[in-house]
Amino acid sequence: MNGAPLSFSTLLAYRQALNELGDRRGGHRVLAISAANMPSFSGRNAKHEGRWHQHHRGQLMCIADGLLQVRTERGAWAVPPRRAAWVPPGERHAVNSNGVTHTWNLYLSPAASKVLPDRPCVIEVNDLVESIVARAVEWTSQPALSTAQGRLMAVLIDELAAAPHDRMQLPMPRDRRLQRIAAAILDDPADPRTREQWAAWAGLSARTLSRLFQEEVRISFAHWREQAVLMAAMEQLTQGASVGSVADALGYATPSSFIAMFRRHFGVPPARYIKAQ
């Protein structure tokens, strides 16, 4: 039994299909859908701000490039490539994308969703998951799965259940002023503005900025900013950029200062970390 992947000519058609699959009551335990290089979707500068919504099914969304910002009523996360954001069934959320040219989504039935946490999170995606998803997108329109397809879906669910949580997940603040600062830093991690300058730009004091960041994301503003830089660095490094060019793009005076920061977080220099990944 063979199907064909759903195809889309516009971003609107793709998002309508996402909503339909997310709210589908029947069908397979896992429904897969992907989109790549649509005219209104692709491009390093393409941005989209999503509306608040929720689904009957749990949603797992993954990108190959760019950055996702997933907001929920419990908080928000920035999601880099080769990671997947998990949103449990019924959880209200909104998704912003920046520079995304390829994405896939899985929609798990409420029963299948129990293998994943009951709170939003970010998990690591391995090559086996990617390979099964590439096949599963061809089965979504089928009325039923073959025995072999069913076995692969069972493996996929097992892999999702065992997937480690990503250590690079970046919490986002809830305060609108802090969100404005965070979004600007994610857009340009090399922005040299100081904490005082960021605070003045957003209309609050530097002391209030520090206090709210600590209260809302449980880490200091300086640490959060460094994590944002690391996330941008990881995206560029995994795309093949050299350590020197990444250091320069992110505002470091020398590659050695960037390497020292990277080693402080991961215990190894960037080249060794990327090779291990």
Residue 4 located in a structural domain: no
Same domain, 92 and 189: no
Same domain, 244 and 153: no
Residue 183 located in a structural domain: yes
Same domain, 193 and 226: yes
Given a contact cutoff of 8 angstroms between Cβ atoms, the answer to whether 78 and 231 are in contact is yes
pLDDT grade for 277, boundaries at 50, 70 and 90: low
- Give the span between the Cα atoms of 148 and 163, in whole angstroms: 23
Quick one: average pLDDT of 159-185? 87
Quick one: average pLDDT of 1-18? 75
Of the residues 162, 181, 196, the one at which a domain ends: 162
Q: Encode burial over 109-139: b for 16+ CB neighbours within 10 A, e otherwise.
A: beebbeebeeebbbbebeeebeebbeebbeb
Quick one: average pLDDT of 5-34? 88
Whether residue 220 has pLDDT greater than 90 = yes
User: What is residue 74's predicted lDDT score, i.e. its pLDDT?
Assistant: 77
Percent of the chain with pLDDT strictly greater than 90: 55
Same domain, 57 and 177: no
- Name the domain count of the chain: 2
Helix, strand, or coil here: 17? helix
Whether residue 210 has pLDDT greater than 90 = yes
Tokens of 226: 């460094």
Residue 3 located in a structural domain: no
Quick one: average pLDDT of 98-124? 91
**Of the ranges 66-80, 162-176, 191-205, the best mean pLDDT one:** 191-205
Same domain, 32 and 154: yes
Same domain, 68 and 43: yes
- Show the DSSP H helices in 146-242 as ranges: 147-162, 176-187, 195-202, 206-217, 221-238
Quick one: average pLDDT of 224-235? 86
Same domain, 229 and 264: yes
Full domain range(s) for residue 258: 173-276
User: What is residue 50's predicted lDDT score, i.e. its pLDDT?
Assistant: 78
Looking up residue 238, the CATH number of its domain turns out to be 1.10.10.60
Segment 42-56, tens digit of pLDDT? 555 566 677 899 999
